[in-house]
Amino acid sequence: MSAPGAGKTTLLERTIRDMKTGASLFVLEGDQATANDGERIRAAGAAVVQINTGTGCHLDADMVARGLLELNPSANSVVVVENVGNLVCPALFDLGERRRIVILSTTEGDDKPLKYPHMFRAADLMLVNKIDLLPYVEFDVSRATANALSVNPDISVLGVSARTGEGLDAWYAWLRQEKSAACEAAAV
């Protein structure tokens, strides 16, 4: 989840390309209109189902259920639900996710966790994306982290750049650990 332009699709493309071996990634791609992002995800190498919401500002559980039937992910795979770009509505709807990730771009401002607290309260992980732009923007990572922790003391925070690759090893380690934990829980 993130605001439009925070880099959800770009980060997902990079993740798919970098994790091709050892991780089966499937994607449900949510947008109001077009199949552009779904085509980008498919070109990166992942199976994807594009879900368009029309005038809706978020995916709902029924849309995700229908998308999952069509996607038909293999056992022990990772399914990523890329919601419509919006820092309000997606936080309010349970889609059955194991974990929720919010992406905050350095171009947005470090006060977003305070302005949109429900989104950051609902997230397990905040990825601060576009850290390669820090020399050029007014964004304080420490302040953004403190703001996120003030609304959600349990949120984890990682800095990443989908463009340069900085911080992606920690992101991939987090994904692998979550996949492992999910597989262990399913086996019990």
Sketch out the chain's domains with CATH numbers: 8-178 (3.40.50.300)
Nearest CA to 78 out of 52, 101, 107 is that of 101
- Rounded-to-integer distance, Cα 34 and Cα 151, Å: 34
What residues of the chain score a pLDDT lower than 50?
none
pLDDT on residue 187: 80
Please compute, for residue 144, the number of CA atoms within 13 A of its CA located in the half-sphere on the CB side.
25
Percent of all residues in the chain with a pLDDT value above 90, rounded to a whole number: 91
pLDDT on residue 23: 62
